[in-house]
């Protein structure tokens, strides 16, 4: 072999080596790029999806766990459609970890301070979930999410405190401080007066102690007397109750209605008399009838008087019988 052919062969081998190294380097960079995205080009995966309202902090390449062990990754995030803005999350799981139907994809935090992952909760179905099937979406709020309402409340409280302090500073001017000082002075005087009144009341009670004791004793005596006459008082109350029942049963309403009817009839009769109607009305208001009665009464009186004065003129009787008059 000549030197020229040897040189050509060495150059050819060198070019092949450079090509192989270049291809290997490019392949390594491609694999590393996919690895950084959470993709393993040498592993076989099944792809599933779940629908969420928001991403909840999950990104592409976020881990997928079962019982704390990584079995896959989140491979894609996208909207459900152009009009449906919910998040369709593609979840890739290694084929050696088959999932049963009814499995849940729970969006959870990997730690307190951050980091999100998808935790697979396998279902109880004996059927295997097919590639491209849907997982049941679920979300578990982390510790920091639970603190959000508390942080909002704390912010509102701090704002209210700031407002209160500002109002206090605006209120506590020189005049207000002077008024408060006078109010505290008046309050001190009032407390002293209350102390004096309390002392006077104490002295009064001490001086009238005997009188108060007598009043209490009399009250106890009255209570004892009432207790001793309890049966009698009960009888009196019972009598009042019986009286009340008797009055209730006396049909007073019916009696009053009858009395009202009688009064109405009497009123109507008096109205007829006042109008000169009926015998009584004519007797009172008819002068002719009155004069005739008066004349008849006068004649009757005259007749009675004449009968009294001259009885023989009207009465004729004899012990021996009636004699014929001489002609």
Give the range among 98-112, 153-167, 229-243, 276-290 with minimum mean pLDDT: 276-290
Question: 142 or 186, which is more confident?
Answer: 186
Q: In this structure, are residues 273 and 280 in contact, taking their beta carbons and an 8 Å threshold?
A: yes
Give the range among 95-109, 180-194, 223-237, 284-298 with minimum mean pLDDT: 284-298
Average pLDDT, whole number, for the chain? 77
What mean pLDDT do residues 88-107 have? 93
Same domain, residue pair 47 and 134? yes
| Domain end call among 108, 140, 172 | 140
Say how far apart CA 100 and CA 133 lie, in whole Å.
Answer: 10
Same domain, residue pair 20 and 86? no
Q: Binning pLDDT at 50, 70 and 90, where does residue 106 land?
A: very high
Is the pLDDT at 4 greater than 60? The verdict is no
Which tokens belong to 280? 């009584």
Q: Binning pLDDT at 50, 70 and 90, where does residue 71 land?
A: very high
Decide if 318 is inside a domain. no
Of 54-68, 102-116, 176-190, 234-248, the range with the highest mean pLDDT is: 54-68
pLDDT digit string (tens) for 48-69? 999 999 998 899 889 999 999 9
Same domain, residue pair 27 and 108? no
Same domain, residue pair 29 and 49? no
Same domain, residue pair 27 and 62? no
Nearest CA to 56 among 87, 90, 91, 92? Answer: 87
Same domain, residue pair 55 and 136? yes
Same domain, residue pair 53 and 134? yes
Residue 65 confidence (pLDDT) = 94
Say how far apart CA 78 and CA 304 lie, in whole Å.
Answer: 144
Residue 319 confidence (pLDDT) = 47
Same domain, residue pair 68 and 113? yes
Residue 69 confidence (pLDDT) = 93
Mapping DSSP to helix (H, G, I), strand (E, B) and coil, where does residue 127 land?
Answer: coil
What is the residue-wise DSSP string for 250-303? TTHHHHHHHHHHHHHHHHHHHHHHHTT-HHHHHHHH-HHHHHHHHHHHHHHHHH
In terms of residue numbers, what domain contains 296?
251-312
Q: What residues does 118 pair with on adjacent strands?
A: 64, 107
Phi, psi (degrees; rounded to nearest 5) at 36: -65, -30
pLDDT digit string (tens) for 246-262? 666 666 667 777 777 87
Decide if 204 is inside a domain. no
Residue 301 confidence (pLDDT) = 78
Q: Using CA atoms in the order 257, 258, 264, 270, what is the torsion angle rounded to 10 degrees? A: -160
Decide if 199 is inside a domain. no
What is the dihedral sign for C-alpha 306, 312, 316, 318? positive
Give the range among 89-93, 127-131, 289-293 with minimum mean pLDDT: 289-293
Which H or E run contains 210?
helix 209-228
Decide if 71 is inside a domain. yes
Say how far apart CA 326 and CA 32 lie, in whole Å.
Answer: 192
What mean pLDDT do residues 114-143 have? 88
Number of structural domains in the chain: 3
Same domain, residue pair 55 and 29? no
Decide if 324 is inside a domain. no
Same domain, residue pair 87 and 101? yes
């Amino acid at each position: 072999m000549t030197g020229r052919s040897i040189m050509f062969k060495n150059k050819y081998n060198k070019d092949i080596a450079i090509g192989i190294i270049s291809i290997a380097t490019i392949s390594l960079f491609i694999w590393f790029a996919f690895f950084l995205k959470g993709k393993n080009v040498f592993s076989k995966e099944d792809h599933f999806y779940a629908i969420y309202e928001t991403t909840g902090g999950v990104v592409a390449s976020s881990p997928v766990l079962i019982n704390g062990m990584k079995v896959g990754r989140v491979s894609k995030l996208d909207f459900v459609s152009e009009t449906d803005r919910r998040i369709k999350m593609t979840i890739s799981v290694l084929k050696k970890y088959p999932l049963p139907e009814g499995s849940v994809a729970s969006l959870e935090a990997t730690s307190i301070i951050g980091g999100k992952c998808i935790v697979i909760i396998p279902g109880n179905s004996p059927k295997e979930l097919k590639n491209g099937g849907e997982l049941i979406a679920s979300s578990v709020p982390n510790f920091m999410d639970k603190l959000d309402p508390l942080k909002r409340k704390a912010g509102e409280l701090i704002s209210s405190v700031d407002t209160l302090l500002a109002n206090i500073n605006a209120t506590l001017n020189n005049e207000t401080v002077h008024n408060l000082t006078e109010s505290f002075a008046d309050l001190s005087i009032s407390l002293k007066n209350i102390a004096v009144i309390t002392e006077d009341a104490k002295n009064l009670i001490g001086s009238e102690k005997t009188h108060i004791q007598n009043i209490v004793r009399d009250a106890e005596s009255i209570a004892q007397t009432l207790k001793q006459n309890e049966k009698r008082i009960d009888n009196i109350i019972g009598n009042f109750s019986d009286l009340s029942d008797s009055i209730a049963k006396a049909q007073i309403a019916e009696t009053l209605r009858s009395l009202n009817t009688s009064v109405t009839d009497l009123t109507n009769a008096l109205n007829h008399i006042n109008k000169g109607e009926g015998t009584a009305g004519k007797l009172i208001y008819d002068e002719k009838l009155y004069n005739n009665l008066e004349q008849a009464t006068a004649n009757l009186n005259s007749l009675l008087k004449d009968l009294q004065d001259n009885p023989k003129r009207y009465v004729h009787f004899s012990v021996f019988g009636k004699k014929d008059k001489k002609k």
